[in-house]
Amino acid sequence: MSVPALRLRGVRKYFGSVSALEDVRFDAYGGEVHAIVGDNGAGKSTTIKIVAGIHRADEGEVLVNGEEVGQVRSAADAQAHGIAVVYQDLALVECLDIAHNMALGNLPRKFGIVLDRRRMEREAAQVLKDLKVRVGNVRTPVGLLSGGQRQVVAVARAVRMNKPIMLLDEPTAALGVQETAHVGEIIDELRASGKAVVIVSHDLEFVFSHADRVTVLRLGRTVGTRRVTEVGREEIIGMITGAVPPDRPDDPVHDYEVA
């Protein structure tokens, strides 16, 4: 088995005296979709934000392609490590249009200074077209879009960054049936192009149809990781609720196919 694109080990995080994460670990591989599931407050978004550079871990390791990256210090640092993120709660900028939102953090410039608006709009339109996303004109302010449309734009924005590691926190939470299927197709394509895709989702149906592996978090700890082909919903639900005990910390669940 190859080196994981993203590996977390023993990640801990306190918010003041609140322990949000106690021991989070998982391995996400290129060419795979890795789902992270768990109840509300289990620590999924906090985990994503640590990898994304929004929060700093108090303990533990984050490795990208087998190399310890120390702390991811900022969103720009995450990008430099090849990580693109769609957040659950850090929305787009409402007063900016679709094209501008999609380019945030990576604005095309003319002569190194002036915003190249035409290029920005052309690129945004191209990405949306490639992804078959129909949200009308790229000059539409994001504030005028529906929740579902915004979410699709947020996914498109991360796809545009074209990074080897993609983190998506609840990418389908606000979506209807058709949009959910569409995001599922986009995720399948990202996997086919070799990216390591990490999705946080409450939708076990979506997880079972699009993920290769699933890691369950409970009360800030990794309960275990399973291949979706080797696990049933009952077991996953049991892991989420605590009915199924956690794997022992020394169980090599993440590496069980290593020769």
Ligand X SMILES: Nc1ncnc2c1ncn2[C@@H]1O[C@H](COP(=O)(O)OP(=O)(O)OP(=O)(O)O)[C@@H](O)[C@H]1O
- For residues 88 and 106, which CB has a smaller minimum distance to Mg ion in the complex? 88
**41-60 positions binding ligand X, by CB under 6 A:** 41-46
Query: Which of residues 131 and 158 has its CB atom nearest to Mg ion in the complex?
Result: 158
Q: Which of 2, 15, 146, 232 binds ligand X (CB under 6 A)?
A: 15
Nearer to Mg ion, 131 or 155 (CB): 155
CB of 165 to Mg ion, least distance (A): 19
Give CA–CA dist 215/36, Å, rounded.
5
Q: Which stretch binds ligand X (CB under 6 A): 40-48, 61-69, 108-116, 178-186?
A: 40-48
- From Mg ion, ligand X, none, which one binds at residue 40 (CB under 5 to 8 Å depending on kind)? ligand X
Residue 85 touches ligand X, criterion: CB under 6 A? no
Q: Is 38 a binder of ligand X (CB under 6 A)? A: yes
For the bound state, the minimum distance from the C-beta of residue 44 to ligand X, rounded and expressed in Å, comes to 3
Nearer to ligand X (CB atom), residue 138 or residue 211: 211
* Closer residue to ligand X, CB minimum distance, 30 or 43: 43
Contact between 225 and Mg ion per CB under 5 A: no
The percent of the chain in helix, strand and coil, each rounded to the nearest 5, is 35, 25, 40
Q: Pairing mode, if any, of strands 6-15 and 59-64?
A: antiparallel
What residues form DSSP beta bridges with 217?
222
Q: Which of 252, 255, 226 is nearest to 238 (CA)?
A: 226
- Measure the CA dihedral 248/66/62/197, to 10°: -90
In the bound complex, what is the minimum distance in angstroms from residue 162's beta carbon to ligand X?
26
Q: What is the DSSP string of 23-63?
A: EEEEEE-TTEEEEEE-STTSSHHHHHHHHHTSS--SEEEEE
Considering only residues 188-227, where is the footprint of ligand X by CB under 6 A?
A: none
Q: Which two tokens stand for residue 173?
A: 């939470």
Min CB(12)–Mg ion separation in Å = 18
Site for Mg ion in 30-89 (CB under 5 A): 44-45, 88
Chain-centre distance of CA 208, in angstroms? 16
- Angle (CA) 30-34-38 rounded to 5° is 160
Q: Report CA-CA distances (Å) from 76 to 38, 72, 111.
A: 28, 9, 22
Site residues (vs Mg ion, CB under 5 A):
44-45, 88
Site residues (vs ligand X, CB under 6 A):
15, 18, 20, 38, 40-46, 88
